[in-house]
């Protein structure tokens, strides 16, 4: 799974990327600060299962904080898009190609309205952020359309003459976009297109509609209404307008700036902060600058918006939009591995995953020699076709 941070230049993407990953990146107040995509790891927040058994988990990857387990996910910070990018404007097709890798896109929007469509600074309240939501999705959809049309043009005669199934052939042609056959099939169903509707291949309007629907199903977009910290009143007003104008879109207010400060102070041992919480505890000495910053964050961000929004948007992306589930390997006799680590692993599995899929994720030999599985909580025996549920604890039994 790969989550893409994207949007126009100069909307706080790099700051948010660093807040998510605590990885050093170039951060500056001018367009195209990010020229090469940055990859790193963020973490989704899952209630750990250890406390149910009165044990403290020792994660192999990620970390435990209080009752929560933070499970790593890969993040890519994609350099800024501008209107006309699909035609090569700005930094052009390079970044649209980076989008191809992602399973979901977090569209970072400057909710303070401080930057125009090209990312040039205008000052708070001088630009309507709703414009960015419109042109950005059009850019991505045009990119999909151009690639689909180009690939279909080479194969139209063969598809028609051999009466091939359109969804399967299309899935083969655009598999390089990280699109699966079920994305195509769902799009056909959404638009009531049959597998022998070959006339759509010659109708650009219908093809664009299909391309847009495929993009929506294969690369869902969630909007980070970022920079709420620039001007609280403008941010709240713009946020209200966006939600009224785009009632079908998921829009979450965020402050990468506030999250970065809280995480860095937590890392230094000056405060105790659990990502996603609406509070923190001061546990060390703060200088005057730090005191002023966290007082602002407390009074203007956490009280007004209930969190910085950064953890919220990661969790919503993975569990609500992509519908992944967090699964823990364990045993009914012991929750420790051979090295003595308790509940060392937590795997994020795609929706609809079975016990057999989970066995294969742990090791292919477990799937190959699978006998049965056990629900560690209930001690109930599970067959290979059991559909995994979030926070299941599963023991796999296999032949040696």
Q: Give the tens place of pLDDT for each residue, 335-357.
A: 999 899 999 999 999 999 999 99
pLDDT at 10 over 70: yes
Establish if 11 belongs to a structural domain.
no
pLDDT at 30 over 60: no
* Residue 11 vs residues 37, 84, 316, 374: alpha-carbon distances, Å: 16, 18, 21, 48
- Note the pLDDT of residue 152: 85
pLDDT at 25 over 50: no
> For residue 370, what are the domain limits?
327-398
- Note the pLDDT of residue 100: 83
Give the list of residues 6+ apart from residue 199 with CB closer than 8 angstroms, or none. Answer: none
- Note the pLDDT of residue 96: 67
Nearest to 81 by CA among 96, 59, 61: 96
Establish if 2 belongs to a structural domain.
no
Establish if 362 belongs to a structural domain.
yes
Quote the DSSP letter at residue 126. Answer: S
Q: How confident is the model at residue 28 (pLDDT cuts 50, 70, 90)?
A: very low
Q: How many domains does the chain have?
A: 1
Q: How confident is the model at residue 27 (pLDDT cuts 50, 70, 90)?
A: very low
Quick one: average pLDDT of 367-385?
Answer: 96
Distance CA 110, CA 116 (A): 9
Establish if 193 belongs to a structural domain.
no
Contact 152, 203 (CB under 8 A): no
Establish if 346 belongs to a structural domain.
yes
Quote the DSSP letter at residue 270. Answer: S
- Note the pLDDT of residue 217: 95
Instruction: Give me the chain's average pLDDT, please.
Output: 91
Q: How confident is the model at residue 88 (pLDDT cuts 50, 70, 90)?
A: low
Contact 261, 286 (CB under 8 A): no
Distance CA 165, CA 398 (A): 39
Quick one: average pLDDT of 77-92?
Answer: 70
Nearest to 271 by CA among 279, 283, 259, 261: 283
Contact 45, 39 (CB under 8 A): no
Establish if 235 belongs to a structural domain.
no
Grouping H, G, I as helix, E, B as strand and the rest as coil, residue 278 is coil
Q: How confident is the model at residue 90 (pLDDT cuts 50, 70, 90)?
A: low
Q: What is the pLDDT of residues 287-323, one digit of tens each?
A: 999 999 999 999 999 999 999 999 999 999 999 999 9
The CATH code of the domain that includes 391 is: 3.10.20.30
Q: What is the pLDDT of residues 381-394, one digit of tens each?
A: 999 999 999 999 99
* pTM of this structure: 0.92
CB atoms within 10 A of CB 154: 9
Q: Which residue has the tokens 């790193």?
A: 40
Establish if 390 belongs to a structural domain.
yes
pLDDT at 34 over 50: no
Distance CA 303, CA 286 (A): 21
* Half-sphere exposure (Cβ direction) of 174: Cα atoms closer than 13 Å: 29
Contact 33, 9 (CB under 8 A): yes
pLDDT at 37 over 80: no
Q: What is the pLDDT of residues 154-185, one digit of tens each?
A: 888 888 888 888 889 899 988 888 898 999 99
pLDDT at 92 over 80: no
Establish if 168 belongs to a structural domain.
no
Q: What is the DSSP string of 21-47?
A: H-------SSTTS--S-EEEEEEEEEE
């Amino acid at each position: 799974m790969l989550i893409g941070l994207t949007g126009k230049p100069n909307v706080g993407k790099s700051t948010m990327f660093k807040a998510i990953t605590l990885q050093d990146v170039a951060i500056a107040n001018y367009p195209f600060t990010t020229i090469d995509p940055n990859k790193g790891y963020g973490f989704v927040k899952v209630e750990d299962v250890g406390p149910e058994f009165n044990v403290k988990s020792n994660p192999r990857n990620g970390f435990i904080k209080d009752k929560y387990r933070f499970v790593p996910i890969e993040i890519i910070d994609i350099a800024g898009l501008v209107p006309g990018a699909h035609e090569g404007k700005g930094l052009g097709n390079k970044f649209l190609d980076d989008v191809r890798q992602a399973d979901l896109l977090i569209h970072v929007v400057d909710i303070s309205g401080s930057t125009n469509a090209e990312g040039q600074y205008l000052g708070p309240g001088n630009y309507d952020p709703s414009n960015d939501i419109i042109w950005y999705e059009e850019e991505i959809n045009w990119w999909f359309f151009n690639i689909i049309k180009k690939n279909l043009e080479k194969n139209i005669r063969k598809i028609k003459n051999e009466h091939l199934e359109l969804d399967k052939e299309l899935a083969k042609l655009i598999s390089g976009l990280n699109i699966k056959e079920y994305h195509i099939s769902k799009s056909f169903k959404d638009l009531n297109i049959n597998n022998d509707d070959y006339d759509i291949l010659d109708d650009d309007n219908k093809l664009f509609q299909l391309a847009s629907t495929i993009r929506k199903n294969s690369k869902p977009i969630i909007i980070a209404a970022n920079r709420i910290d620039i001007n609280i009143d403008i941010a709240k007003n713009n946020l209200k307008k966006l939600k009224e104008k785009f009632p079908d879109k998921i829009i979450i207010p965020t402050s990468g700036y506030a999250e970065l400060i809280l995480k860095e102070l937590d890392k230094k041992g000056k405060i105790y902060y659990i990502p996603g919480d609406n509070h923190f505890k001061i546990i060390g000495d703060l200088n005057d600058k730090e005191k002023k910053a966290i007082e602002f964050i407390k009074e203007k961000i956490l009280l007004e918006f209930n969190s910085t929004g950064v953890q919220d948007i990661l969790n919503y992306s993975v569990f609500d939009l992509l519908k992944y589930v967090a699964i823990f390997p364990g045993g009914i006799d012991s929750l420790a591995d051979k090295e003595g680590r308790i509940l060392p692993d937590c795997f994020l599995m795609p929706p609809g995953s079975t016990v057999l899929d989970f066995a294969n994720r742990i090791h292919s030999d477990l799937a190959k020699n699978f006998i049965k599985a056990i629900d560690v909580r209930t001690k109930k025996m599970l067959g290979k076709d059991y559909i995994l549920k979030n926070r299941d604890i599963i023991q796999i039994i296999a032949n040696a």
